[in-house]
Amino acid sequence: MGKRKSPEDILKELTSTNSSKTSDTTDNISKEVPSEQTQEPKRELVKSSSNELVDLTKNEANSKPLTETDYLILEQHCLGTSEDVIKEEFKVTKGYLNSLLRNSNAGAFLDKYSKTLQQKVLTKNLGMIAEGMDKQHQLIQELFAKGQTQLANQMLFGRLSMVEVQEKLSKIYAEEEDDTTASVQNLFLNLQQR
C-alpha cells in the first residue's frame, strides 16, 4: 500500500490541476442531489471560488489583516445575527463569511469579544441580584417590624429548619476559606436550589 494522502494534499492537487484546466476564479465541484421524480441521485454543479480552496490549504491566508467591515461582520456574528442577514446587509458571499471565520485574526477577535459579552452579562446579572436581595432584605425587615415573624422567617429561610440553615452557612464559610471566588458561586448555587 502507498502512503495515504492528507486532505490538505488532496486539496492542493485539486486546486493546482483544476486551475490549469479551468479559469483562475472558479472550480467546478459536483454534489449528488436526489431527483424529485425518480429518487435517483442527480449530479448538480456547485461553484466554489478557488480562493476559498486556497484559503483552506494555506496558513498565511488565515492570518490576513481584518478590515473595518470584517470587524462589523464579526460583531454581528457574535450577537447572534443569522448568516443570511449578515450576507444581505454587508453584501458578502457565504464563502467570504466562512473564510473570515477561519481567519486567525478573526478567531482572536471573536474570543475577546465573546469574553467581553460574557463579563457584561455577568456584571448585569450580579447587579440585578444585588438589587433584588436589597429589596428582599427591606421587605423582611418591614415584616419583622410589623410583627409578622412567621412570614418573615418563611421568606428568609424557606422550608429549611434552623439546623439546615446553619449547616448551609457553615458549608459556605468553610468553602470560602479555601477559595476567594467561592462566595459568588455559592450565592448562585443557593439561589438555584430554592
Give the residue-averaged pLDDT of 134-158: 91
Least-confidence region, from 16-25, 66-75, 129-138, 181-190: 16-25
Q: What is the pLDDT of residues 38-74, one digit of tens each?
A: 454 554 545 555 555 555 455 544 578 889 999 999 9
Classify burial at 92, counting beta carbons within 10 Å of its beta carbon; exposed 0-12, middle 13-18, buried 19 or more.
middle
What does pTM read for this prediction? Answer: 0.44
Residue 27: predicted pLDDT = 44
Q: What is the pLDDT of residues 69-108, one digit of tens each?
A: 999 999 999 888 999 999 999 999 999 999 898 888 898 8
**What average pLDDT does the structure give for the chain?**
76
CA proximity to 53, closest of 10, 93, 92, 90: 10
Q: Which three cell numbers stand for residue 152?
A: 418573615
- Residue 176: pLDDT band with limits 50, 70, 90: low
Q: Which three cell numbers stand for residue 145?
A: 417590624
